Amino acid sequence: MSQTEFDAAIERTLIAIEDALDECEWDIDYERADAVLTLTLEDNGSQVILSRQTANLELWVAARSGGYHLSFENPGWKCTTTGEDLPALLDRVLTEQQGEPVSLNLDR
């Protein structure tokens, strides 16, 4: 994957997450600074942070349960340690931090 393809994939992914959050039934605020997207669960103030790691061509997710590195495998991002795709990983960590089932309904 070239740097240009990587940057485009990150941008598409972050926009898709923002769109899903706008439609989500949970009160999850988000703030974006360049290629860092911070999700804040309003019920308890906990955060999940997604960030671009250009040197590794990875997307990193930081959550209470740990840090996750995802590489792009067509058609999407896959965690290098758990094997989860990004939608499953985000739903899991948000559910763990919310204490109730959360689904962003991202395309899988």
Position 19 in a domain:
yes
Position 71 in a domain: yes
Query: pTM value?
Result: 0.91
Look at the chain and report how many structural domains it folds into: 1
**How far is C-alpha 84 from the chain's CA centre?**
12
Reduced to 3 states (helix: H, G, I; strand: E, B; else coil), residue 63 is strand
Per-residue pLDDT of the chain (108 residues; tens, 9 = 90+): 899 999 999 999 999 999 999 998 888 999 999 889 999 998 889 999 999 999 999 999 999 999 999 999 888 999 999 999 999 999 999 999 999 999 998 875
User: For residue 21, what are its two tokens?
Assistant: 């959050």
For position 84, which CATH number holds? 3.30.920.10
Range of the domain at 71: 3-98
- Which strands sit side by side in the sheet containing 28-33, from one edge to the other? 28-33, 36-41, 47-53, 58-63, 66-73, 76-79
H helical segments located in the chain: 3-23, 86-98
